A and B are shown apart, each in its own frame.
Chain A
């Protein structure tokens, strides 16, 4: 009998660890839906009918049904559950294609799925022709340009950035062109070896935002390519570094969970600095802790 009890107690101790793991995994799956669960906890969440649900918090807010799936899709992608993201987005899209296509293409862009991003952009554009839709104050033309740029279709990318900068979207939005439209076009010019055009774009970026990391770093890089004054390049890099350390680099509001495809890093700034100083580039990657 004692032996049986002994075995049983060992079994229970060991099982506890296993079951707590299962419970934690379930939490991982479900807690991702944080935004939704705020409503659901303590009965502050209720269905009204098949079209709407209510979130009762410090009052009553009524949301359309599709928004529920949008809320489910949002944390799914941030938790890297791509299947869940697509499944929930598709349901939400059936109800409100415009909003959800917008969210979806931004997400697929950050997932580096440029083919699908472009497909969604074309679909969205067909629904609202002539670029009439500057949805959520975000310009889909710049995502077009960025996709083509990442796909290596640089001439196409230039066309889209030009259409924002040169036409200023015919005054459809006071927010465009942004400094990033200039810096993104500048990067494409840089890739195409159009250094003088790139220089002009980065100067415009700095004119719009005197602390721009992108503007200062890329202007320094362009001047380096053009073999311009090393002291000037050094000054630009120092400003870029200072701004970088202040956290002023470009961050897409919907992409905070991933690195931007064309992101600048501190090591990029430092490596260029070492280059102009004639110091051998430091192998930063040796500093990454990994066990063997």
Chain B
């Protein structure tokens, strides 16, 4: 009997973490299409970055030098999910930074409700809304955030 519980609980636990689903996983856009430049976020990105920096009470770790990137999707209802983290050192090699620092950034990005809905750009589907991809990259130098991209 025990084995059934294990079998059920493991994927259920994971799926509970990942209840976000794209409206159409085969057709999604990117945040940076030039024609949407001024509609990228609900407010201008300069202000968003200021808020992120203000919110960021991270553990100071001078070993953190490089880029921590949080990539995610915004679905056709404006909800964000499918967060993934990329970490590279100053030589752009994959690395793993202090998990506390990464977690701290991830939590802030997850809490942001900044994305506009995106109209489909494909012909004949102009009135539909579509999922799209976005990210925030944090350039760290000796534990301090030097800049935030995009």
Contacts and interface: CB of A to CB of B under 8 A. Distances in A.
Contact of A25 (B30, B51, B84, B111): B84
Given A17-B19, A289-B42, A78 B32 contact: yes
A80 B108 CA distance: 18
Given A82-B92, A112-B146, A290 B112 contact: yes
A267 interface: yes
Nearest to A257: B32
Given A7-B4, A10-B8, A18-B15, A81 B43 contact: no
Contacts of A292: 111
A23 B25 CA distance: 9
Interface string B94-117: 100000000000001001111000
Instruction: For chain B, give the interface size range.
Output: 35 or more
Interface stretch (A53-61, A170-178, A258-266): A258-266
B11 A259 contact: no
Given A78-B30, A112-B139, A27 B150 contact: no
Interface in B27-79: 28, 30-32, 34, 37-38, 42-48, 50-51, 54-55, 67, 69, 71, 73
Contacts of B14: 14, 17-18, 21
Contacts of A263: 46
A82 B69 contact: yes
A284 interface: yes
Interface string A16-32: 01101101110110010
Contacts of B73: 24, 28
B113 A256 contact: no
B119 interface: no
B32 A290 contact: no
Contact of A288 (B43, B92, B133): B43
Contacts of B12: 10, 14
Instruction: For chain A, give the interface size range.
Output: 35 or more
A287 interface: yes
Contacts of A291: 111, 113
Contacts of A288: 43, 47-48, 50-51, 112, 114
Contacts of B133: 28, 79
Interface of A: 4, 7, 10-11, 14-15, 17-18, 20-21, 23-25, 27-28, 31, 78-83, 85-86, 110-113, 245, 247, 251, 256-259, 263, 265-267, 284-285, 287-292
Given A27-B25, A82-B137, 19 more contacts: A18-B15, A20-B21, A28-B73, A78-B32, A79-B30, A80-B71, A80-B86, A85-B92, A111-B137, A251-B37, A256-B32, A259-B46, A267-B47, A285-B54, A287-B43, A288-B47, A288-B50, A289-B42, A290-B51
